[in-house]
């Protein structure tokens, strides 16, 4: 059976975000990715999801959670959003479809899913399924980055993490996003 894979553009986005912080972070990120077998991504369309998630866990431990959050924001900027989507709400609602298309070989249980729930006109609850393999700070960055990308620039974005005790059985991580 083929191992699950993630689209290389998201790996490249993560590395780009580390380089935007500092050359040291970019070098360290490359070293960690290489250690886990994620190399020469510019020559491939897909990367083994297990190798990438293992590397992300090490980046979180060695470099820090904020690096993952920034990486998620950059990944959101490379998200494939249909042309008809032009609002924060629309982008958030489309996120899981884009997430599913960014993976192949395997099943949804290998890469998890996103869910969105409208709380009110300017607040949504965004969550990851319990089988979502990526570190949660990365997901938080994706949520924030996507919302920011589709804001009109005058929007103040607020993200509030949901406490573990308040998570539903179908959630591994959740945030409320309001604007």
For every residue of 57-101, DSSP letters joined together read HHHHHHT-HHHHHHHHHHHHHT----TT--SHHHHHHHHHHHHHH
Mean pLDDT of 53-65: 95
Q: What is the pLDDT of residue 1?
A: 55
Domain span including residue 173: 1-179
Residue 125: other Cβ atoms inside 10 A = 18
Average of per-residue pLDDT across 6-21: 93
Beta bridge partners of 116: 126
d(CA 77, CA 81): 10
Tally of CA atoms within 13 A in the half-sphere of 159 that contains its CB? 18
- Judged against a pLDDT cut of 90, whether residue 90 lies above it is answered with yes
**Angstrom distance (rounded) from CA 93 to CA 98:** 10
Residue 143 has pLDDT above 80, yes or no: yes
Paired tokens of 124: 């949504």
Q: What is the pLDDT of residue 59?
A: 96
What integer pLDDT is reported at residue 158 of this predicted model?
Answer: 87
Q: Which residues contact 15 (CB under 8 A, 6 or more apart)?
A: 26, 29, 30, 33, 41
User: In CATH, what number is assigned to the domain containing residue 82?
Assistant: 3.90.1520.10
Highest mean pLDDT among 15-19, 78-82, 169-173: 169-173
Residue with tokens 């553009």: 9
Count structural domains, the chain. 1
pLDDT of residue 154: 65
Read off the tokens for 137.
């700070």
**Which of 129, 133, 131 has its CA nearest to residue 6?**
133
> Mean pLDDT of all residues in the chain?
92
């Amino acid at each position: 059976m083929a191992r699950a894979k993630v689209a290389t553009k998201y790996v490249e986005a993560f590395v780009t975000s580390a380089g935007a912080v500092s050359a040291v972070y970019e070098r360290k990120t490359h070293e960690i990715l290489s250690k886990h077998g994620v190399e020469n991504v510019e020559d491939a369309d897909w990367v083994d999801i297990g190798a990438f998630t293992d590397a992300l866990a090490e980046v979180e431990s060695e470099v820090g959670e904020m690096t993952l959050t920034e990486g998620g924001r950059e990944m959101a900027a490379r998200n494939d959003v249909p042309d008809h989507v032009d609002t924060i709400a629309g982008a958030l609602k489309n996120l899981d479809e884009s997430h599913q298309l960014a993976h192949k070989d395997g099943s949804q249980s290998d890469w998890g899913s996103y869910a969105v729930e409208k709380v009110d006109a300017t607040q949504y609850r965004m969550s990851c399924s319990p089988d979502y393999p990526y570190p949660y700070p990365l997901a938080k960055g994706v949520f924030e980055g996507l919302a920011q990308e589709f804001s009109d620039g005058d929007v103040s974005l607020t993200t509030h993490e949901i406490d573990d005790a308040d998570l539903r059985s179908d959630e591994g991580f959740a945030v409320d996003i309001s604007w």
